[in-house]
Structure formats: structure tokens, C-alpha cells
């Protein structure tokens, strides 16, 4: 049987390897860091893990509605397409640092893109 | 069917049902989000049995040791008991052995306590005043060295508990304490890993406990301690720490003053600034941070951005002083 994207990336170990790098990039990125301020870092880190597991194609039960609900407080802070782009860019750079090939990075970006409308509250 | 007991109430659970599904089916609200063991919003604590390994995936070692688990990923093999309550809610009595002012701002409280009471230096507990007032304090003593529990209480103007401790509490008095809690403690192993400690005010208490525990465990890598206060009054245990620094060549101690200058023996800087100026790359380090909540939050972020892994950053966040 063909390996899933999640398996090809290395599963949970890959998420664990990526979370520090990705979260550090997000916090140091002036475009998006303000969305992550004021939240306890440990709590935030497990949310980042949830994010990474999801976009790596791993096990999760998030619905589009969950994604909308989870981000709608950020819409009030001005969340828009440019921020989703920044997230996807940081995600790609994280994976590059971990030696992941462009093909898989593209698949990850596609999953992130597929929930763009939900995250930005379009259609809700 | 097996029995799931949650906060003292028993529920029927089918063999394949997770703790979260079972409780939800019975109408018990447990916070949850991903329902697949990642977001950690459904964290509960097992009462006495160790939770299945699958239910502890991704938790910190310190949380695992305290039997925290994720309800959505927990399918026990038989009867199981869990709680949403925090462990410090169990109380035991303790008797004050001594209260001493070790600096104008800090009272050192030593308590005789009844066993069993397993704690790690650096954990915190609630102190209950007879009239019900509760405050959280970190533990500075090390059970292998001391037969009492030591707390450091910083006097604050509005602090009802701290004023009472400074002005009225005396040896022989009875108080109550909760079970110890928190994950700001030294885990043995990785003795080659450098350690950075940053504390302000009575935030030195957990660090003093962790430091001596680490030295006791023969931690061989360098340990750097930055203790800060605005004014000279808030620095304490200076002689003890200097003498440890002489005894252990891997331990370095830097007292810092942020508002008072003119002391040659102290750095004129905030403790976190001094630490991060000296240590710009913290990749691979273990970090302990304690003190004022704003300082702790900001410093956590800075040490993380300087390269420390999230799992290696330990701090005392006094979030849990619930009734
Ligand atoms: C690109 C698509 C995105 C996906 C798939 C995604 C996914 C997720 C997931 C799964 C969670 C955890 C939800 C939970 O379990 O509570 C989450 C939380 C979060 N996301 Fe996103 N996200 C995306 C875009 C963004 C963007 C663009 C931002 C802001 C720049 C953002 C900021 C946050 C924040 C701040 C949280 C934590 C909220 C909290 O503390 O409860 N996300 N996201
Ligand atoms: S609901 Fe996310 S870990 Fe349990």
C-alpha cells in the first residue's frame, strides 16, 4: 500500500521535530507574531502541534467549522490572506530546514490552503 | 462494560470507548478540540493507576510522572478513576518550625510536615491561612538535605498573606499546605546539558531548590544562576550561593540589581537581560525561570527564541491557587 503523506513525512516524530522550528519562526515573524502574543507558550505549542499534524495529513478530527471557530477571534484582530500566506511560507521553510523535498512541501501547503476559507471565515 | 469513576462519580464505559467519549455520552462536559491526542485540551489526571501509554503521548515527562493523560486517547483496559481536580486540593497540616527574615523583603518559613509527602525541590504548594486565605509558594528545600519544607515569602504592600507571614506567623503555629504541584523541578539525567536559571525576588526559592538538587545529582555541565531584584533588599542567600559557587566549579552565580547602582558585587541589570546578553545561543540548554508572572512569560519567549527547546524550558507559573 502506498504510504500516506503523514507517513512519508515521518509521522509524529516529524511533528515533534518541526514544532520548535515552526513556532520559533512564527514568533519571530513580525507579520504574524502578534496573533500569538499573550497566550501561554506551552498551550500554544500544543496548538501548533495540532496545526502541524493536520497539515502533515495526520490523524485529526477537525471540521471546517472547528477551523472557523478556532480562528474567529483572530479575524477581529485583522486576520487575512496575507497571514495565511505567511504561515504557509514559514511552514515551507521549516520543512526545508528538516530536509523535506519540494514535492512533499507542496502537498503540505495544499492541505493548509484547503482550509484557508474556513480559517478566514468565508462562507460561515 | 467497565466502570469509569470521574470526580467521584461512577459511569458505565464500553470496552472501546475513550474516557472523553464516555463522559460526553453521559453528559459530562470535558473541554476538547482535536479528539485525536494532539491539542491537549482534554487533559485530566488519573487518581492512582498509571494511564495507558497511548494516552500520555506528547506530554512532558513531568506531566506523565504526575499521571496526567489525554481523555480523548485514553481507553483503559478495565475500571479506571480520573479527576479534573488539581492535586494541590488535598490538604495536610504542618507546623511552623521557624520564621526568619533573611532580607528586609524576604521571610524564610520552615515547616515540619507529616509524611508521606513526596515533593521535588522547585515544585509549589498552596499555603492555607486558618481563615481560608490561600497563596502559592515554591519549595526551596531538598528532602535529602532537610527534614523541613522551606518557603520564601516576599513582603508586598498589599499582600495580605505576606504581611501576615512577616508580622504574625511564628514557630509553633499550625498551618495547612496542599500537595506539591508543578513541573519546575530537576529531572535526573542529561548531566552534560548546560542549565540557565533566571529568577526575580522570591522566585529564587524554586531555583535554590532545583540548583541544590542538580548539584546533588552531580550535574556536571555549567549551571548559571541570575537572581534579580530592583533593590538590594530583595537579594538574599548571597553568602550561601557564593559559597556553593566556590565549592562547585560548574556553578556560577550572578546577583543583579535593576534599580539600584553603585554596588560592585552586583550586575546593574535585570536578571533576564543579563542572562540573555551573556547567553545568546541557548540551543540544547535546560532553562528554569521563576518570579513575577510578566517576567516569566517574557523570558520564556526570549529563551525559546534564543534556541532552547520548549520541552527544556521549565517555569513556575502560579496559575493554580484555586479554592
Ligand atoms: C493555514 C491554515 C491554518 C490551519 C490548518 C490552522 C490550524 C490550526 C489548528 C488545528 C489549531 C488548533 C485548534 C485547537 O485545537 O484549538 C489552530 C490554532 C491557532 N491558529 Fe491556526 N491554522 C491556520 C492558519 C492560521 C493563521 C494564518 C494564523 C495567524 C497568523 C493562525 C493562528 C492560530 C492561533 C493563534 C491559534 C491558537 C488559538 C488558541 O489559542 O486557541 N492560524 N490553528
Ligand atoms: S481533544 Fe485534543 S488532545 Fe484530546
Are B261 and B299 in a shared domain?
Answer: yes
Q: For chain A, say whether B306 makes contact (Cβ under 8 Å).
A: no
Q: What's residue B323's pLDDT?
A: 30
The verdict on residue B125 lying in a domain is yes
Cβ–Cβ below 8 Å for B33 and A66:
yes
Chain B environment of A56 (Cβ under 8 Å): none
Each residue's pLDDT tens digit, A12-57: 889 989 999 999 999 999 999 999 887 778 778 888 989 999 999 9
Q: Give the pLDDT band of residue B320 (cuts 50, 70, 90).
A: very low
Are B66 and B96 in a shared domain?
Answer: no
Domain that holds residue B113: 92-177
Q: What's residue B322's pLDDT?
A: 33
Are B6 and B37 in a shared domain?
Answer: yes
Each residue's pLDDT tens digit, B52-97: 999 998 887 778 888 999 999 999 999 999 998 765 457 899 999 9
Q: Report H helices in chain A.
A: 5-9, 11-28, 41-55, 64-75, 81-97, 102-114, 116-119
Cβ–Cβ below 8 Å for B313 and A53:
no
Q: Within a 13 Å sphere around the CA of A16, how many CA atoms are in the beta-carbon half?
A: 9
Are B225 and B124 in a shared domain?
Answer: no
Kindly give, in sequence order, each residue whose CB lies less than 8 Å from that of residue B248, ignoring residues fewer than 6 positions away.
B215, B223
Q: C-alpha cell of B32?
A: 476538547
Cβ–Cβ below 8 Å for A60 and B36:
yes
The verdict on residue B186 lying in a domain is no
Residue in B255, B159, B257, B249 with CA at minimum distance from that of residue B207: B255
Most A CBs within 10 Å, among B39, B60, B182, to test the A interface: B39
Atom of ligand 2 nearest to the CA of B31: 1
The verdict on residue B185 lying in a domain is no
Atom of ligand 2 nearest to the CA of B34: 2
Are B246 and B287 in a shared domain?
Answer: yes
Query: Residue B150: is its pLDDT beyond 80?
Result: yes
User: In angstroms, what is the span from residue B47 Cα to ligand 2's centroid?
Assistant: 19
User: In angstroms, what is the span from residue B70 Cα to ligand 2's centroid?
Assistant: 6
The verdict on residue B187 lying in a domain is no
For residue B70 and ligand 2, the question of a CB distance below 6 A is answered with: yes
User: In angstroms, what is the span from residue B31 Cα to ligand 2's centroid?
Assistant: 8
The verdict on residue B190 lying in a domain is no
* Least confident stretch, A31-40, A101-110, B15-24, B135-144: A31-40
Query: Which residue from B35, B36, B304 is facing A41, i.e. has the nearest CB?
Result: B304
Nearest-CA residue for ligand 1 atom 27 is A84
Are B109 and B25 in a shared domain?
Answer: no
Which residue carries 519546575 as its cell?
A: B184
Cβ–Cβ below 8 Å for A50 and B309:
no
Q: What is the mean pLDDT of residues A96-124?
A: 94
The verdict on residue B188 lying in a domain is no
Are B125 and B213 in a shared domain?
Answer: no
Q: C-alpha cell of A88?
A: 504557509
Q: For chain B, say whether A34 makes contact (Cβ under 8 Å).
A: no
For residue B42 and ligand 2, the question of a CB distance below 6 A is answered with: yes
Cβ–Cβ below 8 Å for B36 and A12:
no
The verdict on residue B13 lying in a domain is yes
The verdict on residue B189 lying in a domain is no
Domain count of the fold of chain B: 3
Are B280 and B224 in a shared domain?
Answer: yes
Query: Residue B179: is its pLDDT beyond 90?
Result: no
Q: What's residue A1's pLDDT?
A: 65
Buried b (16+ CB within 10 A) or exposed e, A4-42: ebbebbebbebbebbbbebbbbbbebeebeebbeeeebb
- CATH code, B279: 3.40.50.80
State in words which class domain A5-119 has: mainly alpha
Q: What is the mean pLDDT of residues A60-68?
A: 88
Kindly give, in sequence order, each residue whose CB lies less than 8 Å from that of residue B178, ignoring residues fewer than 6 positions away.
B87, B88, B89, B90, B91, B125, B126, B128
Which residue carries 486540593 as its cell?
A: B89
Are B159 and B211 in a shared domain?
Answer: no
Are B58 and B119 in a shared domain?
Answer: no
Domains of chain A, by residue range, sit at: 5-119
- CATH code, B41: 3.10.20.30
Amino acid at each position: 500500500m502506498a504510504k500516506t503523506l503523514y507517513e512519508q513525512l515521518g509521522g509524529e516524530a516529524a511533528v515533534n521535530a518541526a514544532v520548535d522550528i515552526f513556532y520559533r519562526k512564527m514568533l519571530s515573524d513580525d507579520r504574524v507574531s502578534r496573533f500569538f502574543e499573550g497566550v501561554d507558550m506551552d498551550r500554544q505549542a500544543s496548538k501548533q502541534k495540532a496545526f502541524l499534524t493536520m497539515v502533515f495529513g495526520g490523524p485529526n478530527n477537525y471540521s471546517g467549522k472547528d477551523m472557523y471557530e478556532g480562528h474567529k477571534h483572530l479575524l477581529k484582530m485583522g486576520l487575512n490572506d496575507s497571514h495565511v500566506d505567511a504561515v504557509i511560507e514559514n511552514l515551507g521553510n521549516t520543512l526545508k530546514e528538516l530536509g523535506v523535498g519540494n514535492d512533499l512541501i507542496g502537498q503540505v501547503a495544499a492541505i493548509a490552503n484547503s482550509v484557508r476559507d474556513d480559517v478566514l471565515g468565508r462562507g460561515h | 462494560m467497565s466502570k469509569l469513576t470521574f470526580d467521584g462519580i461512577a459511569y458505565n464505559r464500553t470496552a472501546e470507548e475513550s474516557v472523553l467519549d464516555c463522559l460526553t455520552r453521559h453528559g459530562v462536559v470535558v473541554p476538547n478540540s482535536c479528539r485525536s491526542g494532539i491539542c491537549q485540551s482534554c487533559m485530566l489526571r488519573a487518581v492512582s493507576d498509571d494511564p495507558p501509554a497511548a494516552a500520555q503521548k506528547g506530554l512532558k515527562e513531568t506531566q506523565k510522572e504526575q499521571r496526567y493523560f489525554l481523555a480523548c486517547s485514553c481507553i483503559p483496559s478495565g475500571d479506571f478513576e480520573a479527576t479534573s481536580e488539581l492535586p494541590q486540593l488535598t490538604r495536610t497540616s504542618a507546623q511552623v518550625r521557624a520564621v526568619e527574615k533573611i532580607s528586609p523583603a524576604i521571610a524564610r518559613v520552615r515547616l515540619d510536615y507529616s509524611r508521606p509527602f513526596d515533593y521535588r525541590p522547585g515544585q509549589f504548594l498552596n499555603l492555607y491561612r486558618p481563615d481560608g486565605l490561600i497563596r502559592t509558594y515554591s519549595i526551596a528545600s531538598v528532602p535529602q538535605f532537610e527534614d523541613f519544607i522551606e518557603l520564601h515569602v516576599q513582603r508586598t504592600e498589599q499582600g495580605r498573606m505576606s504581611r501576615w507571614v512577616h508580622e504574625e506567623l511564628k514557630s509553633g503555629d499550625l498551618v495547612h499546605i496542599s500537595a506539591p504541584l508543578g513541573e519546575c523541578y530537576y529531572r535526573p539525567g542529561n548531566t552534560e546539558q548546560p542549565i540557565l536559571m533566571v529568577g526575580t525576588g522570591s522566585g529564587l526559592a524554586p531555583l535554590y531548590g532545583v540548583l541544590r538538587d542538580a548539584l546533588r545529582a552531580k550535574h556536571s555541565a555549567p549551571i548559571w544562576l541570575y537572581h534579580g531584584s530592583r533593590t538590594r533588599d530583595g537579594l538574599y542567600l548571597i553568602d550561601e550561593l557564593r559559597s556553593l559557587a566556590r565549592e562547585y566549579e560548574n556553578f556560577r552565580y550572578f546577583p543583579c540589581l535593576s534599580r539600584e547602582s553603585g554596588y560592585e558585587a552586583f550586575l546593574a541589570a535585570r536578571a533576564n537581560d543579563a542572562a540573555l546578553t551573556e547567553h545568546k545561543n541557548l540551543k540544547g540548554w535546560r532553562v528554569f525561570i521563576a518570579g513575577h508572572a510578566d517576567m516569566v512569560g517574557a523570558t520564556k519567549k526570549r529563551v525559546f527564541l534564543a534556541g532552547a527547546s520548549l520541552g527544556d524550558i521549565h517555569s513556575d507559573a502560579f496559575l493554580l491557587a484555586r479554592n
